[in-house]
Structure 1
């Protein structure tokens, strides 16, 4: 399994790094870009012994912490109960995914941009009313869970069109796995689709006789639902790719913008290190977190780190758009419930080290064992 994952992850990294020319960074939301080159950025960090020591120490500390957890397995019973409790919420996943994608789409539609605040109608060369109608229409259908899979398919088509017009939409890459997850999960409950499906299945109901979906689209939905075990795989790989992209392109390849954020919010007063170390450290953290999520390594722990990062950004940058984070919060919450799922290193570690980690999503519940 790992032989196939590693080349795929490397290909994703190379692909994301190859299209930075027109891609605008997330920090463009809050500050204009500045001049800067990656060589100068890395050179400044490499010439600072303290910066190198902090980066090396942070990396080694993370590896040691992971190895120590596998070796000693602290709080084993507590974590087993936590995993069991979280997995018991899996019936709420469709609702959570719909809100995570639908709400920011509605906000984007009313504001007049397509998925990302940098992708305005004028920037993409699209009619403003069409962009607004797309976001509001698809978003409301997802929120209410009406024609959910069809709305998700339309959303994916809209994202593909926007991405073809501008790579800037890679900043909103999380929408792709989110919409794919909704395609697999369907509307779930509570949703309008669930209500109509109950009416359609009720013998003697008037709606059963006029239902246009039951005989045509329902079989497609059933085939998609049969592969809902891929939801955690789709979400974590998509989120992982998004983190890697933001870390490499937003910070390392466009250091001027990242350094401008450090200066604007005086971040060196919060943690007294050089601005260059701030940028490189943040980039390496995002890349490492993205790779860990994509491979399904310590998935829930990585989601905890991601939530901490989102919260810090949300409250630390007063002019950062709130709606830009709703989708990320929601999709990370999906992974908190599902864990790494199939095709993950968490599954391999569970079998190799008997860690009581998730063997598979919706699999057997872990049984706490005494040390």
Structure 2
């Protein structure tokens, strides 16, 4: 699969180290969405051959060590403390818009999938009559915020059934944390649920006398409310697992497909490193970023990195379907608002919220 190189010119070593900063973003596309290659290749053989190459090992090892040292220095020095503290507070002010963000982020892809004729992701064909109409209806329910929690739970059940029947649905695992997060946060505002609830509870309204669902919705809301605080945990664990899975199973263990993408888009012209280094860089970067997000390590910084990866992908891999990534965009954006949440490493290293001495005077900050 990989031919040994008699000699590797050192002139591209520096560009390799610097270029790997861009590689994850450009090569982080869903490989199966953009290539017609059928052979995944022998992942273990690919890793053994690539990682034993001295240059590849030096570049990857050097990048990992540099990243670790940078994080340790950051924890020691804590630069930009006030900036970070103000940023956290500014993002927290969008908390009331979190339900709307998630509804848009998963409602739009559902509607788009229904009209485009695929089921949850572009490599899964509809299996039953009415599947397309079901997705469109479910998507509009989320977009309008109508029976939001029920719609999210129905969507989650539909995805799990699809996953059981069609293994390729696993390449869009972001639907699980997306549907769960929407079920936990509810409809928010603006939404049809909030509007209808206001009319139903207003004194003297005709709709209030005939409304059949307000009491049932109130019961469901009360049952779920105690678990709403776990929304950040659900999002980051689900998103982190998705990232790590794609890095391992779409790059590192599917080298032929990943190498085909590098060749298809001539990515070695963008960053002059060997094709296998592109695949290794993208795979290990996604794996590392996924682990950091899942465990809540520098959560907001990791979420910003993820957003950068998605954005670079749109420019580097123009055929990668945008709709298929909107859900992941919304999850990363949600983490900027919520932060790490419960059960995160940030809570133990002091990166989740500012200390009392770091808490900014927001009045002065806005002057």
TM-score class normalised by the smaller sequence: 0.7 to 0.9
The answer as to 2:56 corresponding to 1:61 is: no
Matches within 5 A, 1:343-358: 343-350=343-350, 355=351, 357-358=352-353
Paired residue secondary structure (2:216): coil
User: In structure 2, do the counterparts of structure 1 residues 264 and 365 end up closer, same or farther at CA, with 3 Å as the change threshold?
Assistant: farther
Structure 1 equivalent of residue 359 of structure 2: 367
Unmatched segments (≥5 aa) in structure 1 = 1-24
The question of whether the paired residues in 2 share the 8 Å contact of 1:340 and 1:358 is answered with no
Query: Once superposed, what is the RMSD of the aligned Cα atoms?
Result: 1.8
Instruction: Provide TM-score, normalisation by structure 1.
Output: 0.86
Q: Distance in 1 between matches of 2:105 and 2:114?
A: 15
Structure 2 equivalent of residue 180 of structure 1: 180
Matches within 5 A, 1:307-346: 307-346=307-346
Following TM superposition, by how much is the alpha carbon of 1:330 offset from its aligned partner in structure 2, in angstroms?
0.8
Paired residue secondary structure (1:226): helix
Q: Distance in 2 between matches of 1:162 and 1:344?
A: 31
Q: Distance in 2 between matches of 1:119 and 1:228?
A: 32
Structure 2 equivalent of residue 148 of structure 1: 148
Following TM superposition, by how much is the alpha carbon of 1:40 offset from its aligned partner in structure 2, in angstroms?
3.1
The question of whether the paired residues in 1 share the 8 Å contact of 2:237 and 2:293 is answered with yes
1:73 equivalent among 78, 86, 89: 78
Structure 2 equivalent of residue 274 of structure 1: 274
> Which range moves more in the overlay, 172-181 or 314-323?
314-323
Q: Distance in 1 between matches of 2:173 and 2:71?
A: 28
Q: Distance in 1 between matches of 2:40 and 2:340?
A: 39
Structure 2 equivalent of residue 227 of structure 1: 227
> Which range moves more in the overlay, 268-277 or 91-100?
268-277
Structure 2 equivalent of residue 243 of structure 1: 243
Paired residue secondary structure (1:139): helix
Following TM superposition, by how much is the alpha carbon of 1:48 offset from its aligned partner in structure 2, in angstroms?
2.4
Q: Distance in 1 between matches of 2:323 and 2:69?
A: 36
Structure 2 equivalent of residue 160 of structure 1: 160
Instruction: Provide TM-score, normalisation by structure 2.
Output: 0.87
**CA offset digits 1:265-300 (Å, max 9, x no partner):** 111111111111111111111111111111000011
Q: Distance in 2 between matches of 1:368 and 1:349?
A: 20
Q: Distance in 1 between matches of 2:282 and 2:222?
A: 42
Q: Distance in 2 between matches of 1:141 and 1:247?
A: 33
> Which range moves more in the overlay, 106-115 or 269-278?
269-278
Matches within 5 A, 1:184-203: 184-203=184-203
Q: Distance in 2 between matches of 1:47 and 1:291?
A: 24
Paired residue secondary structure (2:130): helix
Q: Distance in 2 between matches of 1:232 and 1:187?
A: 16
Structure 2 equivalent of residue 11 of structure 1: none
Q: Distance in 1 between matches of 2:33 and 2:356?
A: 44
Unmatched segments (≥5 aa) in structure 2 = 1-28, 362-367
Structure 2 equivalent of residue 108 of structure 1: 113
Following TM superposition, by how much is the alpha carbon of 1:35 offset from its aligned partner in structure 2, in angstroms?
5.3
Aligned residues: 332
The question of whether the paired residues in 2 share the 8 Å contact of 1:94 and 1:182 is answered with yes
Paired residue secondary structure (2:341): coil
**CA offset digits 1:23-59 (Å, max 9, x no partner):** xx93121112245212332233234222111101111
The answer as to 2:31 corresponding to 1:27 is: yes
Following TM superposition, by how much is the alpha carbon of 1:108 offset from its aligned partner in structure 2, in angstroms?
0.3
Q: Distance in 2 between matches of 1:314 and 1:345?
A: 31
The question of whether the paired residues in 2 share the 8 Å contact of 1:107 and 1:323 is answered with yes
Q: Distance in 1 between matches of 2:247 and 2:85?
A: 33
Q: Distance in 2 between matches of 1:287 and 1:47?
A: 19
Paired residue secondary structure (1:74): coil
Following TM superposition, by how much is the alpha carbon of 1:217 offset from its aligned partner in structure 2, in angstroms?
2.8
Structure 1 equivalent of residue 122 of structure 2: 117
Following TM superposition, by how much is the alpha carbon of 1:358 offset from its aligned partner in structure 2, in angstroms?
2.6
